[in-house]
Structure 1
């Protein structure tokens, strides 16, 4: 599939096309810039930002992308392309509407190479949207310090990234950094409490990198960390810090089981009347969809008819993940993750041969229920039994088997910025490419972050108590 064909197909699905630039005036030097998005949570467990993992590949360097991926310099200056041209392409990509929408109103943390910071084009980035992370390999000298001071005067903020110990480089950067990101797994355990205490006393914000388990989160939380980067929130957890849900779980499961058949309006009305919280959400959903048509829904039966069973089913599936507190959709990390996965898989499966509406529905269900154990805890198998999912969906969730399983592997790789895994998986999912998959993930993230009540929101409106 050509790039033009892919772009045309993407627009048909609500995409704006790939983020790319033609360098040197020749099509073979087309330069792709794409991103993975990793959440940062605050001490309340709510989203407060995203780190954008950046991948830059030129058409001429595509074949060597895997071997060069670990080399930061090659990522910044792919074969045959000047560093300045790469920086220009990166900044255009960062300023695209796709990235803005995928950030859902939160700030983006980006790795800042020396070349990027010293380039005048960096000043065109809005400082209220982007925070620069200073990676361990950056060369710190007087020129760089002077540049950081100048950019700081323009309201840009800096993070010292991947800190595991105190050294000269760290000491030189510390006065100009607002935040220090500490790698929990690589920092000596005996050093961690002292390092956190000293930095907090110095007025620095602390971000815990690598909080993929609840134990790691609790360790960092008790040490006074302010931000947490990792997927601990998507793992099963019980106890005092377990996630609260916005409606009784049994009520949501009963409704899902009813929706799995072909319920009548009367049956849906009877089930919903048993659960006032669900009625409240449905009335909001129905009026959000009806306002664009100048309608006002005032009865439960009208709400069911106005919304439709398909939209009610999707709303109920996603409502499983909604936090029990009054949390805006765009700030709820688990709901955002589940919604993004579901929408990504629905969009991505459409790129595969012979995929139709049934495959799209199955892909959405695979994505939305791939995290269900984070809500219910206990055995994933038992929860999937209750949901009565089909065998291909269960095989995909439990064992990552089949095309749906490969798509789930792909979105998990994109979530972590594991570009090598994404490349390998896309080879088995041809004609889907890594660049296209990354674009679809941004599109899905934007869909998941819709905050306005809109008739075009396809059933994913703000969920609040």
Structure 2
């Protein structure tokens, strides 16, 4: 397991119980707590979330690409720009603009931190943001600031980096594609170099990466979306991998989980509305599942007022719907006894499923079958990553309802569009998010971002209170 200094030490965590009560409050849907009062001037800020994995396939951080929507009047924006230009002409340090200040404040919000499952965030910053005093609101151990290659390398900027470094802030140089003068001057002040593996010639990339490694820098490969991308970057010696290769069939270093067939058998039985006796018989064939079910039944979220001591009591206390959702998520657990918060695929699956479940309730024209199927669409949209082969054949085994199946295979209906919306948000495709929201009234991009924060927090909630709230880590 990597212990590189760029990674913050991780805490053990568990996924919360999958069928916890849904929040209906708009404020609760938007984040882990009530949203702050609207900022003045009116500027909307929200963040995507893209995973960074290490060489062992463990989730180590999230990049949080920001989107800033400045809704101020044009005259107000122009007046701000003119004031900044006068400061520069007078030799004064320009004050950070309202948009930069709003971005820093939004990133420091508890809801954003809660959505990261205890991991550090990698945040793109501008020169203007670096000089904002509000930047110090962000805990240094929670963030790595990504510097664009065109940020400049003058004495003023270097002095600011040194000052922030004294406060233990860390930096990465983003999207590096050549060894220019700016890179040479900034290199001593950054811990990591991010390289888009598709932007540098395959003949040049190994040598370029070797030079950066010899300088003691952590190398991050961007654009790693296929197994071939991952294997090429891994062979060159990259330390981190940003992309969704792990969510594809046979992606990355994924290892098969031993009880997966047992989980499939259990799901098939659950779909047939079994009796308690039938369910008890199937579960007894799988001691690992029994162990986890007993823990789930005795968690604080069940509120039954006494300790469950038998398997039949555990089944009755938990209910078949909760058992089914718990089993669906366990399908994606890596077979290496990973803590839930370090399992990139499990986090992505749980977040998408929860996002679908919350978002569908906001739709004007949603039907009951959509609400019932939303979580399933999110969960089983990733089955190729686990089983390989065609997605159709795997869905046949799971005997899913037609609307669920068509949403996954053909992106049809409201659930299909919601699935596309989740995918667009995960990629940080803001234009795609806006276009899909136009078809999914009354959702808009800001609401979607809030729901995604809530879903991400739910998926990564750590059990640090001693009162278990759901899914235990898998133990073979």
TM-score (structure 2 length as normaliser): 0.86
Distance between the aligned counterparts of 1:268 and 1:216, measured in 2?
A: 43
With over 3 angstroms needed to count, the CA separation of the structure-2 counterparts of 1:304 and 1:7, relative to structure 1, is closer
**3-state SS in 1 of match to 2:230:** helix
With over 3 angstroms needed to count, the CA separation of the structure-2 counterparts of 1:83 and 1:391, relative to structure 1, is farther
Q: Which whole-Å deviations, capped at 9, do the CAs of 1:36-70 have from their partners, x for residues lacking one?
A: 100111111011100001011133479xxxxxxxx
Deviation at residue 22 of structure 1 after TM alignment: 2.5
**3-state SS in 1 of match to 2:61:** strand
Deviation at residue 449 of structure 1 after TM alignment: 0.5
Which residue of the partner structure matches residue 66 of structure 2? 54
Q: Does 1:230 align with 2:228?
A: no
Residue ranges of structure 2 left out of the alignment (5+ in a row): 1-22, 75-80, 82-94
Distance between the aligned counterparts of 2:132 and 2:309, measured in 1?
A: 58
Of the two structures, which has the highest relative contact order with CA contacts closer than 8 Å and spacing of 6 or more?
Answer: 2
Distance between the aligned counterparts of 2:438 and 2:369, measured in 1?
A: 24
- Give matches, 1:92-171, under 5 Å: 92-171=105-184
Q: Does 1:370 align with 2:370?
A: no
Q: Which whole-Å deviations, capped at 9, do the CAs of 1:147-200 have from their partners, x for residues lacking one?
A: 111111111110010111111111111111100011101111111111111221
**3-state SS in 1 of match to 2:268:** helix
Distance between the aligned counterparts of 2:61 and 2:277, measured in 1?
A: 44
With over 3 angstroms needed to count, the CA separation of the structure-2 counterparts of 1:51 and 1:104, relative to structure 1, is same
- Give matches, 1:398-409, under 5 Å: 398-409=409-420
Which residue of the partner structure matches residue 338 of structure 1? 349
Conservation of the 8 A alpha-carbon contact between 1:312 and 1:459: no
- Give matches, 1:260-271, under 5 Å: 260-271=271-282
Distance between the aligned counterparts of 1:20 and 1:392, measured in 2?
A: 39
Conservation of the 8 A alpha-carbon contact between 1:454 and 1:461: no
Q: Which moved more, 1:439-448 or 1:303-312?
A: 303-312
Which residue of the partner structure matches residue 20 of structure 2? none
- Give matches, 1:209-220, under 5 Å: 209-220=222-233
Q: Which whole-Å deviations, capped at 9, do the CAs of 1:213-255 have from their partners, x for residues lacking one?
A: 11111111122211110000000018x944221x432211111
With over 3 angstroms needed to count, the CA separation of the structure-2 counterparts of 1:12 and 1:154, relative to structure 1, is closer
Q: Which whole-Å deviations, capped at 9, do the CAs of 1:247-295 have from their partners, x for residues lacking one?
A: 4322111111111132111010001111122112212222224786553
- Give matches, 1:262-411, under 5 Å: 262-289=273-300, 293-355=304-366, 358-411=369-422
Q: Does 1:86 align with 2:99?
A: yes
**3-state SS in 1 of match to 2:392:** helix
Distance between the aligned counterparts of 1:148 and 1:181, measured in 2?
A: 18
Conservation of the 8 A alpha-carbon contact between 1:397 and 1:405: yes
Distance between the aligned counterparts of 2:381 and 2:142, measured in 1?
A: 31
With over 3 angstroms needed to count, the CA separation of the structure-2 counterparts of 1:20 and 1:33, relative to structure 1, is farther
Deviation at residue 333 of structure 1 after TM alignment: 0.4
2:264 aligned to which of 250, 253, 257? 253
With over 3 angstroms needed to count, the CA separation of the structure-2 counterparts of 1:461 and 1:278, relative to structure 1, is closer
**Count of residues in correspondence between the two structures:** 435
Distance between the aligned counterparts of 1:266 and 1:154, measured in 2?
A: 61
Conservation of the 8 A alpha-carbon contact between 1:161 and 1:181: yes
Conservation of the 8 A alpha-carbon contact between 2:30 and 2:451: no
With over 3 angstroms needed to count, the CA separation of the structure-2 counterparts of 1:457 and 1:314, relative to structure 1, is farther
Distance between the aligned counterparts of 2:31 and 2:98, measured in 1?
A: 29
With over 3 angstroms needed to count, the CA separation of the structure-2 counterparts of 1:401 and 1:18, relative to structure 1, is farther
Q: Does 1:198 align with 2:215?
A: no
Distance between the aligned counterparts of 2:158 and 2:280, measured in 1?
A: 65
2:220 aligned to which of 203, 207, 213? 207
Deviation at residue 17 of structure 1 after TM alignment: 4.9
Distance between the aligned counterparts of 2:121 and 2:277, measured in 1?
A: 47
Conservation of the 8 A alpha-carbon contact between 1:243 and 1:375: no
Conservation of the 8 A alpha-carbon contact between 2:149 and 2:175: yes
Which residue of the partner structure matches residue 436 of structure 1? 447
Deviation at residue 301 of structure 1 after TM alignment: 1.1
Residue ranges of structure 1 left out of the alignment (5+ in a row): 1-5, 25-29, 63-72, 74-81
Distance between the aligned counterparts of 2:367 and 2:37, measured in 1?
A: 29
1:43 aligned to which of 43, 55, 60? 55
